[in-house]
Amino acid sequence: MDIGKKRNEARGNGKINKGPGRKGTEGDGARAKSGNRNTNASGKGERGGDKDKDRWGEERGKRETRERGNGEGSRRSEGKVSGKGNGSVDRDKDKHRNENVNGEWKARGRSSGESLQRNEGKVSGRGNRNVDGDRDKRRNENVNGDWRARGPKGEPEKGGKFKAKNKDGQCKVSRECGGCQMIDVPYPEQLIRKHKETEKLLKPFVKLEGIIGMDEPEHYRNKVNAAFTHDRKGKPLSGVYKEGTHYIIPVEECLLENKKADEIIGSIRELLPSFKIKTYDEDTGYGLLRHVMVRVGYTSGQIMVVLVLASPIMPSKNNFVKALLKLHSDITTIVINVNDRKTSMVLGDKEQVIYGKGYIEDSLNGKSFKISPKSFYQINSVQTQKLYGKAIEYAGLTGKETILDAYCGIGTIGIMAADKAKQVIGVELNKDAVKDAVINAKQNQISNIQFYQKDAGEFMVQLAEQGTKIDTVFMDPPRAGSDEVFLNSLVALKPKKVVYVSCNPETLARDLEYLVKKGYRGVKGVAVDMFPFTNHVESVILLHRKNI
In 154-295, which ranges are continuous DSSP H helix? 174-177, 187-202, 259-271
Strand pairing class (367-371; 402-406):
unpaired
> Which residue ranges make up the annotated binding site for S-adenosyl-L-methionine?
378, 407, 428, 476
Which of these, 345, 351, 399, 429, lies nearest to 40 by C-alpha position? 345
Neighbour count for residue 448 (Cβ, 10 Å): 14
Residue 425 near residue 454 (C-beta atoms within 8 A): no
- Distances 538 to 173, 192, 221, 367 between C-alpha atoms, Å: 26, 14, 15, 22
> Which residue ranges make up the annotated binding site?
378, 407, 428, 476
Residue 189 near residue 160 (C-beta atoms within 8 A): no
Assess whether 177 carries a catalytic annotation: no
Rounded to whole angstroms, how far apart are CA atoms 213 and 148?
7
Full DSSP string of 71-89: EE---S------STT-TT-
Rounded to whole angstroms, how far apart are CA atoms 332 and 281?
29
Residues 6 or more apart whose Cβ sits within 8 Å of residue 342: 282, 285
For 46, phi then psi, to 5°, come to -140, 150
Q: Which residues are catalytic?
A: 503
